[in-house]
Amino acid sequence: MTAPNMEELVSLCKRRGFIFQSGEIYGGVRGLYDFGPMGVELKNNLKQAWWAEMVYSRDDVEGLDASILTHPQALYYSGHEDTFTDPLVDCRKCKRRFRADHLSSAKCPNCGSEDLTDPRPFNLMFKTNVGPVEDEDSFAYLRPETAQAIFMNFKNILDTRSKSLPFGIAQIGKAFRNEITPRNFIFRVREFEQMELEFFVEPGTDEDWHRLWVDKRMEWWQSQGIAPNQLERYDVPADEIAHYSKATVDVMYRFPHGLEELEGIANRTDFDLGSHTKQQDTLEINAKVIQNEHSTTKLAIQDQNTKKWIVPYVIEPSAGVDRGVLAILNDAYQIETLDNGKTRTVLSLKPHLAPIKTAVIPLKQNHDGIMSKASALRRQLQKLKFGRVLLETSGNIGKSYRKHDEVGTPFCVTVDFQTLDDETVTIRDRDTMGQDRVNISKLADLLQSRLD
Ligand code: GAP
């Protein structure tokens, strides 16, 4: 068995309907991708697994789904206006732009020229206007992280859900960064999704909680099918750490292009809640001085015993959905050599992540009896609600098996002539390729137990 390179993964994703270049019919847009029929299922399954772990399995976490367009002052006080930058250099000869910290030499990677500008900070946030008038009063940002909306809703959630420390707020949603050099397929893109938890703790307990969340997150990625030797933890050194963090540990994954960050777990201290509570009379946003528009909401929690107000510290496990999908596809992708010397490509996805849980395949697609039996069986299995069940009518049985191996369908159920006589079907296991003949009346329980 061999692991894929990036080209093989990209090719599988396109061929089997996982991921397409965005705007492909117009030549595509760099750093933007669309998730196709298989991709959207895999992505939703991964998000559901994260939500189940971070929200449903706990008593101390609440969910949130906040707006993407973000008040500019929020991103002023969060420090993003000043510091959310990458160092940009221009090649004066070919006019291409690069991230200075991604250059391996003082030469332009495109044309080899040494005539490069000095690095200058480039802010990664996208701006847009809210409402019909495009002026400085109407601008807003597309959020660069989901986290800020959690901080801004801290009091709302505290008031409505009466929490005490420690507790968390979880959110999954889109984030946008105008990356200078998007690259490596869906690894570094301009529009992506994050799964973020802001876990509020008492100052002084933060370092213990940080360690605990790092361990939990390393374990969780393994429970999603990632081999332990594909993961590493990286203690981010002080000179690389984000402006809001006291300490950050990254969960690193061996992507096809190298060992890189899959998730970051930061100790954000009281930086964000503190910043949003600061009272200032004037502030400058977008070169414009705004008077008295600061937040006066107190983002703090009262200790029920001492009655003292505490600004909690925050531990933040922040994972990228797109990077998660890439890692999971990479780990699941196998090319197996069979006994007869042929090869097969198979995605050995954990059943809960598989886009299709079961494919029902009619042996003859031009036979009315077999077709109606297969359709009825698909509808019956779909009602079990363990995920998508598909009627596969696109080819012969061998091709159908190969196709479903490549999208990671754990089970294929074939309806044939014998089914019409004795109500039995064959069930084929993706990983062993073994086939059993079972009665339709036993199928639901069998699939349910194997998918669980
Ligand atoms: N709220 C903290 C935060 O946003 P980050 O390390 O900048 O921290 C968290 O981002 C995660 O979001 C990363 O670990 C990565 O998985 C994902 N991510 C960040 N930038 C990305 C990009 N341009 N494309 C895809 N995923 C990205």
pLDDT, residue 276, reads: 86
pLDDT, residue 290, reads: 42
Q: Is the pLDDT of residue 4 over 90?
A: no
Q: Is the pLDDT of residue 281 over 50?
A: no
Question: Minimal CA–CA distance to 321: which of 15, 48, 68, 75?
Answer: 48
pLDDT (tens digit, 9 = 90+) per residue, 149-159?
999 999 999 99
Lowest pLDDT segment from 29-33, 77-81, 319-323, 343-347? 77-81
φ, ψ of residue 56 to 5 degrees: the values are -65, -30
Protein residue with its CA nearest to atom 26 in ligand 1? 320
CA of 401 to the centre of ligand 1 (A): 36
CA of 193 to the centre of ligand 1 (A): 8
State the virtual CA torsion across 359, 365, 370, 375 in degrees, nearest 10: 50
Number of the ligand 1 atom closest to the C-alpha atom of 147: 1
pLDDT, residue 278, reads: 64
Question: Minimal CA–CA distance to 346: which of 425, 220, 338?
Answer: 338
Protein residue with its CA nearest to atom 25 in ligand 1? 188
Number of the ligand 1 atom closest to the C-alpha atom of 194: 12
CA of 238 to the centre of ligand 1 (A): 18
329 burial (CB, 10 Å; 0-12 / 13-18 / 19+) is buried
CA of 15 to the centre of ligand 1 (A): 27
Q: Which residue has the higher pLDDT, 115 or 295?
A: 115
pLDDT (tens digit, 9 = 90+) per residue, 166-195?
999 999 999 999 999 999 999 999 999 999
pLDDT, residue 133, reads: 85
Asked if 268 and 315 count as a contact pair (C-beta separation under 8 A), the reply is yes
pLDDT (tens digit, 9 = 90+) per residue, 36-78?
999 999 999 999 999 999 999 999 999 999 999 999 989 998 9
Question: Minimal CA–CA distance to 245: which of 99, 79, 121, 88?
Answer: 79
Q: Determine whether the shortest distance from the Cβ of 355 to ligand 1 is under 6 A.
A: no
Lowest pLDDT segment from 12-21, 207-216, 281-290, 409-418? 281-290
pLDDT, residue 2, reads: 56
Percent of the chain with pLDDT over 90: 85
Q: Is the pLDDT of residue 112 over 90?
A: yes
In this prediction, residues 431-435 reach a mean pLDDT of 96
In this prediction, residues 4-15 reach a mean pLDDT of 94
| d(C-alpha 169, C-alpha 174), whole Å | 16
In this prediction, residues 303-329 reach a mean pLDDT of 95
Number of the ligand 1 atom closest to the C-alpha atom of 250: 14
Contacts of 189 (CB under 8 A, 6+ apart): 31, 32, 33, 179, 182, 322
CA of 332 to the centre of ligand 1 (A): 22
Phi-psi region of 431 (alpha: psi -120 to 50; beta: other; left: phi over 0): alpha
Q: Cite the beta strand spans of 348-444 per DSSP E.
A: 358-362, 389-391, 411-415, 424-429, 435-439
| d(C-alpha 432, C-alpha 126), whole Å | 48
| d(C-alpha 356, C-alpha 386), whole Å | 10
pLDDT, residue 282, reads: 45
Q: Determine whether the shortest distance from the Cβ of 151 to ligand 1 is under 6 A.
A: no
Token pair 């960064």 in the structure block, residue? 177
Phi-psi region of 204 (alpha: psi -120 to 50; beta: other; left: phi over 0): left
Residue 452: band (very low, low, confident or very high) from pLDDT cuts 50, 70, 90: confident
pLDDT, residue 283, reads: 43
CA of 319 to the centre of ligand 1 (A): 7
